[in-house]
Amino acid sequence: MTIRLLSTIACALLMVSHTMADNNTAPSPVAPLPSPQQVAWQQLETYAFIHFGLNTFNDMEWGYGDTPASTFNPTRLDCEQWVQTLVKAGMKGVILTCKHHDGFCLWPSRFTDYSVASSPWRDGKGDVVRELSDACKKHGLRFGIYLSPWDRHQASYGTPDYVTYYYNQLTELLTQYGDLFEVWLDGANGGDGWYGGACEKREIDRRSYYCYPRIASIVARLMPGAVIFSDGGPGCRWVGNEKGFAGATNWAFVRSKDVYPGYPQYEELQSGHADGDAWCASECDTSIRPGWFYHESEDDKVKTVDELTDLYYRSVGHNGTLLLNFPVNRDGLIHPIDSATAVQWHERISREMSVNLLTGAKFTATDTRGKAFGPAMMGDKEWETYWAPSDGVTSADIVIKTKKDVTLNCFVLQEYIPLGQRVKAFELEYKTCCGKWAPLLVDEETTTIGYKRIVRFHEKTAREWRIRILDSRACPCINNIEAYNTNN
């Protein structure tokens, strides 16, 4: 045997033992990473906002802070009607404007009389937060709170006393209403207001006034399962628009030192920061009507089922969540036009995504680190199992062979995000009848995947499909691939 042959055999043995050693070892996580709460939050995918309060009764969007509490008087308020509608619309949770910028509280706060306790509704004995949180418990919906930091009613606004007042109210909401999944901190802050009769403009330092780390520690102590929303998190971030969509390229990261509530370069939030140091996925908020609060003049301006469907694909399908607002009306009900539209929208999405045409298909890949991470894991519906190639492999092809010809116009791709968001670029292809790979026609960039990427493309019929991962921050970890024909 020549020395050359011996060294070739030795080299081959080394490679085999190396592969075997790697076989069942999971890839190392790539920071930034989500907390288990952030993963659970993103899995909710769609949940509702309710804007309701004095503005509803006074045809306003931003009350000045002096609107009389006596004008709050919903005659037929029924939180069960809200929750039942939201469940039928596929919502997994609801966030209520417990206090909007006008400072009026939908619960009888011990710290102010500017609340439902001073209204004629239920003779001043009502509590909307209680009624809604109870209805959520009864019907299995998660509950969250919006507590506006800006308060145009309080005389102390702008002083340290107001910040204590804010913490006290936050504590009431975190301790009196059971489990919460999200705490929503609005970015609109400071400006003119009533402020106990001063009627002036008050500016605050948006970065330091509320001491956000203190708020985060109160939430972490009293409601550890909840994620905090604000422009830059820390739990989840604003998507940089109020239209309900995220960028096709969408990283779940932000540069935590840069972003704060009121961040001027908020448009960056549509795609996140590829070089961010903190996990902070995007929440796409929008209203089913032009306004956040109810206005009769908008009864004929409710978004259509087509518009909402498109938003679903560009929010949940762009690695975000969709927070869809329902402006409760003066009766205290979700308007029938809004509820009918939302329910039809949910039925439409459910129909479009009802038959996964890859069921029973064969998945293969150009590289696999070991049996436990085989390509079949992408078609097994299990969250905890995923395909991954060897360490250092940052581009690979996944080929999917269906049993017969199928006509597709949509792929659903998911990364196993507990190990980080990795994929930077991919391409989708199909095999033509003459056996050549050709690109599927996609109208947006195919870059990031994240928790969920839904890629719509021009319909094609074929038996073999290829997903080419072109670049990734480390070896990709793909845990689910589905495909649909949304025209069926």
Which of these, 268, 269, 267, lies nearest to 237 by C-alpha position? Answer: 269
Q: Per CB under 6 A, does 102 bind ligand FUL?
A: no
Mention every residue, 6+ apart, whose C-beta is less than 8 A from residue 414.
Answer: 449, 451, 452, 453, 478, 479, 480, 481
Provide the minimum distance between the beta carbon of 261 and ligand FUL in the complex, in angstroms, as a whole number. 10
Read off the amino acid at residue 435: G
Which span (73-81, 183-191, 192-200, 400-408) binds ligand FUL, by CB under 6 A?
Answer: 183-191
| Closest CB to ligand FUL among residues 185, 388 | 185
Considering the complex, state which of residue 101 and residue 273 has its C-beta at the smaller distance from ligand FUL.
101
Q: Return the range that interacts with ligand FUL (CB under 6 A); candidates 27-35, 181-189, 212-220, 447-455.
A: 181-189
- The CB-of-133 to ligand FUL minimum distance in angstroms stands at 20
Work out whether 187 is an interface residue with ligand FUL (CB under 6 A).
yes
Q: Does 262 bind ligand FUL (CB under 6 A)?
A: no
Q: Which residue is it, tokens 């509280």?
A: 105
Site string for ligand FUL, 111-150 (x = CB under 6 A): ----------------------------------------
Residue closest to 332 by CA, chosen among 53, 117, 96, 91: 53
Span interacting with ligand FUL, options 30-38, 186-194, 417-425, 430-438, rule CB under 6 A: 186-194
Q: Three-class SS of residue 315? A: helix
Stretch 30-69 residues interacting with ligand FUL (CB under 6 A):
61
Q: Does 292 participate in binding ligand FUL (rule CB under 6 A)?
A: yes
Candidates 127, 285, 338, 482: give the one binding ligand FUL (CB under 6 A): 285
Q: Are the beta carbons of 280 and 252 closer than 8 angstroms?
A: yes
Q: Which of 186, 283, 298, 415 binds ligand FUL (CB under 6 A)?
A: 186
Q: Among candidates 132, 57, 487, 126, which has minimal Cα distance to 295?
A: 57
Residue nearer to ligand FUL on the CB measure, 186 or 482: 186
Nearest approach, Cβ of residue 111 and ligand FUL (Å): 21
Question: Helices in 140-294 by DSSP H: which ranges?
Answer: 160-176, 212-222
Q: How far is the CB of 283 from ligand FUL (least distance, A)?
A: 11
Of all residues in the shown chain, the one whose CB is closest to ligand FUL is 188
Residue 188 is a binding residue for ligand FUL (CB under 6 A): yes
Which residue carries 């019907």 as its tokens? 139
* Euclidean distance between CA atoms 297 and 198, whole angstroms: 32
> Treating both helix axes as pointing N-terminal to C-terminal, what angle do 160-176 and 212-222 enclose, rounded to 10 degrees?
20
Is there binding between residue 151 and ligand FUL (CB under 6 A)? Answer: no
Exposure class string for 66-92: b at 16+ Cβ within 10 A, else e: bbebeebebeebbbebbbbbbbebbbb
Nearer to ligand FUL, 149 or 389 (CB): 149
Total of residues contacting ligand FUL (CB under 6 A): 6
Q: Which two structure tokens, joined as six digits, stand for 273? A: 């920061």
Instruction: For the segment 227-246, give every residue that binds ligand FUL (CB under 6 A).
Output: none
CA end-to-end distance (rounded Å), the chain: 64
Please report, as ranges, the residues that interact with ligand FUL according to CB under 6 A. 61, 186-188, 285, 292
